[in-house]
Amino acid sequence: MARKKIIAGNWKMNMTPSEAVALIETLKPLVATEDADVVFCVPAIDIIPAVEAAKGSNICIGAENMYFEEKGAFTGEISPSMLTDAGVKYVIIGHSERRQYFAETDETVNKKVLKAFEHGITPIICCGETLTQREQGVTIDFIRQQVKIALLGVSAEQAAKAVIAYEPIWAIGTGKVATTEQAQEVCAAVRACVAEIYDQATADAIRVQYGGSVSASSAPELFAQPDIDGGLVGGAALKPDFGKIVNYK
Ligand code: PGA
């Protein structure tokens, strides 16, 4: 069976709750499709109004982060059951900005991925190399390491439902999108790595996104690649252009 595309917006630290509602109202008719899963990953404080605003539409609301403990003395953190109770279906785990600014590591990513599955939340697991790593020729090795650690202890059945977002750090927010060949090469390597860890059926089921300066003009060619099952979109997810990205065909 062909994999359904998944196109997710990563709002990052943008949009107040009232702005979030207005943006969802604007985008709702523009992202209506049955051909792809459409996810808006929004700031924690926007989740409840966003879920409300998205009701009756095809938009699923996701979170941008989550903690790996159930509850307790972790000031400022959000637990998995807080997310599910609010209506969240997806969570971005290990975005490079969280790794860079908030000390996220492959180990915390793995703990969060396991916890998300425990609660029936689909993780969108981020991986991606720096420009230096690309220039050093270690991109694939680095990505494989990130993917392998993120999936430690995850069952094949769970992994089949996961989403992995390949986001080269040098392409995030820079307007410098990876070439179609670069994006396809790494997404294929991610899938091959999943086949190695599990089996071909799991690799055929898992969805691999490309992220990094995806725009209405770059999306059609990127998403037509055999191993690219959609995108994780930052800047362009805050504009009506997101409708064009979702309906890229
Ligand atoms: P960008 O962000 O589309 O603005 O490059 C992508 C991301 O960080 O997920």
Q: What's the pLDDT tens digit per position in 175-228?
A: 888 999 999 999 999 999 999 999 999 999 999 999 999 999 999 999 999 999
Q: From ligand 1's centre to the CA of 199, what distance in Å?
A: 30
Q: From ligand 1's centre to the CA of 73, what distance in Å?
A: 32
pLDDT, mean of residues 109-134? 98
Q: What's the pLDDT tens digit per position in 46-104?
A: 999 999 999 999 999 999 999 999 999 999 999 999 999 999 999 999 999 999 999 99
Residue with tokens 């709002």: 11
d(CA 194, CA 188): 10
Q: Whose CA is nearest to atom 2 of ligand 1?
A: 234
CA distances 212 to 1, 49, 118, 142, Å, are 28, 27, 29, 17
CB 193 within 8 A of CB 222: no
- Nearest atom in ligand 1 to the alpha carbon of residue 172 is 5
CB 109 within 8 A of CB 150: yes
Which listed residue (64, 95, 97, 104) is catalytic? 95
Concerning whether 95 is annotated as a catalytic residue, the answer is yes
CB 93 within 8 A of CB 124: yes
Q: Residues with Cβ < 8 Å from 208, sequence gap 6 or more?
A: 163, 164, 165, 166, 187, 190, 191, 227, 228, 229
- pLDDT reading at 163 higher than 90: yes
Residue 93: per-residue pLDDT? 98
User: From the CB of 184, is ligand 1 less than 6 Å away?
Assistant: no
Q: From ligand 1's centre to the CA of 213, what distance in Å?
A: 5
HSE-CB for 44 with a 13 A CA cutoff: 11
Q: From ligand 1's centre to the CA of 118, what distance in Å?
A: 27
Question: Which string of b and e fits 108-137 if b means at least 16 CB within 10 Å?
Answer: bbbbbbbbbbebebbbbbbbbbbeebbeee
Residue 32: per-residue pLDDT? 98
- Classified as helix, coil or strand, 5 is strand
Residue 1: per-residue pLDDT? 60
CB 177 within 8 A of CB 160: no
Residue with tokens 């997710």: 8
User: From the CB of 49, is ligand 1 less than 6 Å away?
Assistant: no
Residue 189: per-residue pLDDT? 98
What rounded mean pLDDT belongs to the chain?
97
- Nearest atom in ligand 1 to the alpha carbon of residue 214 is 3
Q: What's the pLDDT tens digit per position in 132-159?
A: 999 999 999 999 999 999 999 999 999 9
pTM of the model: 0.98
- pLDDT reading at 29 higher than 90: yes
d(CA 174, CA 110): 28
Which listed residue (64, 97, 129, 167) is catalytic? 167
Residue 2: per-residue pLDDT? 86
Q: Of 6, 3, 1, which is closest to residue 245 (Cα–Cα)?
A: 6
d(CA 212, CA 32): 23
Residue 52: per-residue pLDDT? 98
d(CA 116, CA 54): 22
- pLDDT reading at 106 higher than 70: yes
Q: Whose CA is nearest to atom 7 of ligand 1?
A: 234
- pLDDT reading at 168 higher than 90: yes
Residue 77: per-residue pLDDT? 98
